[in-house]
A and B are shown apart, each in its own frame.
Chain A
């Protein structure tokens, strides 16, 4: 199963390698990792998607909790809004261009760049939505794509950094 872990960290140099290094040396599998600043300039937030079982996720959380630069670590798999952004550059000529744009439309994706040979599409959503879009575009030939990795936030009044 995939677990989504939200982590608040001190915005110190090297903190990302502390977190990612821990995963590799303990043999945990990261599906995705996303990091960025928060409303507090001293604090960054990392979202990690882990593939594993209850034992793995328990160990991941506890080992992360021991890192000095980690402020809080929380399993937010349940009851959160999870999104990722994907940019896909797909082959598109005059014959296929309108079909590709229709597909993008269905996925509420945006065309962000267009040339005579390529269209670049930006889509956000849950991973299964962006994966479905990728699947639909594969037939035209994907030249390049990039994903941000999942970011997630809890629903309602719950949040990290409450203490």
Chain B
């Protein structure tokens, strides 16, 4: 069948089961948008291409499917860069189509020309520029396979305008969109014998451990291994700490769960790691925000590391037993090899720390407390809301004070730390999960970065709850300035007090402002009662509120600053 390149793109998206994309039209994608006109694929139009990528990212994280983005050439393409880098750092499957000037104009600094494949080389798993229209269908199929297989990530396809109008022979292909646990594209996977030996060694170490700990990461969620992880932890009675990306991969109300570890981990979680004799990292990458000072991280522990990406094994920390493979598959194997254990002295010790150092939970009345707000969000959604966050203090409070019950319920920019991520990600998440309430926990600084996307949420009637913890400052940077720069608040006080309520109303959203703890519940109940448009709740919090506990950069994770 002869069809144009643009039509082939739409056909191939349908092959992949794509029914929703995020994009922004422009000159170099006119043929593509023309092919989209009248197709069954839903197109979401945000205010900016950055938001299109973050929304696709949020959609992918909430659904487990590949997020798809269309953008035009030049500025359209460069606007996707932050969103692509964000997806790359957090291993989110995404395919981004950018328009490009026609082949004959390429390399001549033509209008809206930019070398987007060159620019995105370090932040994509792979990218393509299409120079032969006939190859387009297979490029798209390969791009989707790459994006979702092994360690997922973004792939970019740059399509010159003339390639979109060139006729090509299209042969339909049925594809399986099943999750692929094999790392088909890595050439340095561990060989079978070594893998087997290391799994045996890990089982032995875990059976003999006196004070083991599980450090779980986002790989548990990607691999859909949360049930296996739970069975594994319960069989061995091992306490579980989590990276930011891992939240939701283990039920937070479970007695073995200790929450976040690292820079903003609790004292009890960090002590558990510091005093462990065997640490098993499962789909986590020992980020600097977790390990802080590498020499003082779990100093007496044998480290077992399970990861599908061989390059993560031994990258950030010495590993005694590297295991290269899909988390779910490996956990299943290990589960059969380890003995059932009883609660012991180590569990008691951990429990004692937990009671001794529990996070403050009683915020009383009066002064509006951000932690209290997050607690109330948890309470009113029975833990089954999806929380997205911006970056900074809001993100840490959202991670600490909401007990995530299931995978894909906490959506946050972990690796890149992108302010402005949360609102567009909430849009994507809400589109992926219309059955769930989506709440974006934001700060005023982050909100201002992409606040225009409120109009996108209004346009698509998305009942997102935008909770702005307004401290009139860049809170996390301010906190560092207070702690490490003698309170010299260089440019972190925002000064202009934008009326967020009026701003939200101008976009057509519901909005209210609260200033006291007593108002939180009613405000949230009101917001959750609205189902056809977003609600913004501006929460006036103290300027000097801190996200504690905290570990100073370069310190050991057991050296904790709190209050």
Contact = CB atoms under 8 A, between A and B. Distances in A.
- A and B co-occur in one complex: yes
Contact of A59 (B186, B189, B311): B311
A148 interface: no
A17 interface: yes
Interface string A66-85: 11111111000000000000
Contact of B117 (A14, A59, A66, A68): A14
A18 B146 CA distance: 16
- List the 3 shortest-distance A-B pairs measured between CB atoms, nearest first: A65-B188, A62-B311, A65-B187
B175 interface: no
Nearest to B187: A65
B191 to A, nearest CB: 12
A61 B188 contact: yes
A98 interface: no
Interface residues of A, number: 23
Interface stretch (B73-81, B121-129, B255-263, B529-537): B121-129
A25 interface: yes
A21 interface: yes
Contacts of B129: 13-14
Contact of B122 (A21, A55, A61): A21
Interface of B: 117-118, 121-122, 125-126, 129, 131, 146, 185-189, 309-311, 313-315
Q: Which of B126, B131, B189, B313 has the most CB of A within 10 A?
A: B126
A63 interface: yes
Contacts of B310: 62, 65
Contacts, number: 50
Given A17-B121, A21-B122, A68-B146, A73 B188 contact: yes
A52 to B, nearest CB: 14
Given A21-B122, A70-B187, 7 more contacts: A14-B117, A18-B121, A21-B121, A59-B314, A62-B188, A64-B188, A68-B125
5 contacts: A62-B313, A65-B310, A66-B187, A66-B188, A73-B188
Interface string A1-42: 000000000000110011001100100000000000000000
A93 interface: no
A97 to B, nearest CB: 47
Interface of A: 13-14, 17-18, 21-22, 25, 55, 58-59, 61-73
B151 to A, nearest CB: 8
B187 A58 contact: no
Nearest to B315: A59
Main secondary structure of the interface of A (DSSP, over half): helix
Nearest to B188: A65
A21 B118 CA distance: 10
Contact of B187 (A13, A21, A59, A72): A72
Contacts of A18: 121
A32 to B, nearest CB: 22
Nearest to B131: A13
A68 B125 CA distance: 8
A21 B115 CA distance: 15
A3 to B, nearest CB: 15
B187 A73 contact: yes
Contacts of B125: 66, 68
Nearest to B122: A25
A121 to B, nearest CB: 38
Contacts of B315: 59
A71 B187 CA distance: 7
Contact of A58 (B118, B131, B189, B314): B314
A61 B445 CA distance: 41
Nearest to A65: B188
